[in-house]
Amino acid sequence: MTKTSAQSRPQGTIERRCKCIGDIDRREGLTAKELQEEYLKPRRPVVLTGLMDDWPGRTKWSFDFFKENYGSMTAPVCRGFEREGTMLLGEYIDYMREWRRDHDDELPLELPLYADDTFVDTGTPLAKDYEIPDCFQELDWFDRFFPKNPMRRGYLLIGPKGSMTKLHIDGQYVHAYVAQFVGKKRWLIVPFDQLKGLFESYADYIGGWSGYEPPGIEDFPGLNDVSYYTTVQEPGEIIIAPSAQFHQVINTEDSIALTSKFVDSSNARKVLWSMFLTRTGLRKSRRLGYLD
């Protein structure tokens, strides 16, 4: 079959329009206090190394493993961020393999489906293949205050090279972490102090566009003033995107990862405020709760 590398997209909008400020820090052996003081409070992203070495999933998890053992799990699928329904995980892995036979681009013209939201129930054997690192548990407020909140649990992110999650902020002001098991991801993270610029550029599109090019990008000159941190996340690494940071993620290899969210004393007040605005229906604009 013909590969479509001649039809790949130009570099993504953020890279073309914005300035790279540098690589995201890589740290090993951080204590909970160091993590909080140096990264969570100032909202700096960080890659944590050496935390996944003993996780059974590091050696067990593969595309075959999921197809054979968890093929009947429900896998919600999206393109870029736009929901496209659900598949069985086994069906999705077949789809992904077929798609990869025809495409080899990092930024393909047509985005592939991405199984980015397969829920891992804490009571299941799959949940025993990974651990919540000690430094997160020590800081964590979810278990203490919101033990039933589904964001607390893990979600699988399984996708081929070229699948991606568009520029977005995670809901409710939570911190996100992503543990990489197989393949690599390229991250672009916009520092918190530029949130306002991005909201001004993108406010109406947040949660509303997919792919690499938002519609009518020329209408958003504010984007030129924004800069970003970047890194390529390798297997065995955990990245933290602290709360309210726009991030965009591209799978540069066929990828298996797990995402979970957390709350600590640095974002708890904002999380509570944001949940309150959502539950009471008082959230009038997407900005409310982020900029105030």
Ligand X SMILES: O=C(O)CCC(=O)C(=O)O
What is the DSSP secondary structure assignment for residue 10, as one 8-state letter?
Answer: P
Q: Count residues near ligand X (CB under 6 A).
A: 12
Residue 178 contacts which entry, Fe ion, ligand X, none (Cβ below 5-8 A, type-dependent): ligand X
Q: Does 249 engage in binding with ligand X (CB under 6 A)? A: yes
Nearest by Cα to 257 from 82, 134, 87, 114: 114
The region of 50-58, 110-118, 162-170, 199-207 touching Fe ion under the rule CB under 5 A is 162-170
For residues 154 to 173, the per-residue mask of contacts with ligand X, x marking binding by CB under 6 A and - elsewhere, is: ---x-------x----x---
What is the DSSP secondary structure assignment for residue 194, as one 8-state letter?
Answer: G
Residue from 116, 129, 170, 237 binding Fe ion (CB under 5 A)? 170
Q: Which positions from 174 through 213 interact with Fe ion, judged by CB under 5 A?
A: 176
CA 164-166-171 angle, 5° bins: 120
Residue from 47, 75, 96, 178 binding ligand X (CB under 6 A)? 178
CB of 156 to ligand X, least distance (A): 10
Q: DSSP states of 15-29 as a string?
A: HHHSEEEEEPEEEES
CB-based burial label for 214 (10 Å; 0-12, 13-18, 19+): buried
> What are the φ/ψ torsions at residue 81 (nearest 5 degrees)?
170, -15
For residues 104 to 123, the per-residue mask of contacts with ligand X, x marking binding by CB under 6 A and - elsewhere, is: ------------x-------
Q: What share of the chain is helix, strand, coil (3-state, %, to 5)?
A: 35, 30, 40
Whole-angstrom distance, CA of residue 239 vs CA of residue 47: 4
Closest-approach residue to Fe ion (CB): 170
Neighbouring residues of 271: CB distance < 8 A, sequence distance ≥ 6? 172, 173, 174, 243, 263
Q: Which C-beta is closer to Fe ion: that of 69 or that of 252?
A: 252
Residue 157 contacts which entry, ligand X, Fe ion, none (Cβ below 5-8 A, type-dependent): ligand X
CB of 245 to Fe ion, least distance (A): 9
Binding residues (CB under 5 A) for Fe ion: these are 170, 176
Binding residues (CB under 6 A) for ligand X: these are 116, 157, 165, 170, 176, 178, 185, 241, 247, 249, 257, 259
